[in-house]
Amino acid sequence: DTAVSQTPKYLVTQMGNDKSIKCEQNLGHDTMYWYKQDSKKFLKIMFSYNNKELIINETVPNRFSPKSPDKAHLNLHINSLELGDSAVYFCASSQRVNEQFFGPGTRLTVL
């Protein structure tokens, strides 16, 4: 069983489109995260939810909107995609202050 899963794995789209990435964890963790990893492998946190409540919201354009329907799911919706949004997006989950479990990543390419 996959602990943290993301769909889709690859996403290729045109500038200006709207897209969503889904994330699910079956570990029973309370906290979920979205990270962006750029081409230089730099990993930056975007959002974090704890029991469906937003607790971390870094400096991210408001075109990015997370949504947590329940504590096992954290989706990321992106409006009006731009070239600079091209990156690998990772979902992760953790239980309190402890290790994070990462999903396999979604490689987003904006043309």
Partner 1 sequence: AQSVTQLDSQVPVFEEAPVELRCNYSSSVSVYLFWYVQYPNQGLQLLLKYLSGSTLVKGINGFEAEFNKSQTSFHLRKPSVHISDTAEYFCAVTEGSYQKVTFGTGTKLQVIP
Tell me the C-alpha to C-alpha distance, in Å, between residue 76 and each of 31, 97, 98.
Answer: 15, 23, 23
57 binds partner 1 (CB under 8 A): no
C-alpha 33/C-alpha 63 separation (Å) is 17
Q: Measure the CA–CA gap between 74 and 91, rounded to whole angstroms.
A: 8
Which of these segments, 13-21, 39-47, 62-70, 73-81, binds partner 1 (CB under 8 A)? 39-47
Closest distance between partner 1 and the C-beta of residue 106, in Å?
10
Q: Which residues bind partner 1 (CB under 8 A)?
A: 4, 31, 33, 40-45, 48, 50, 55-56, 90, 92, 94, 96-105
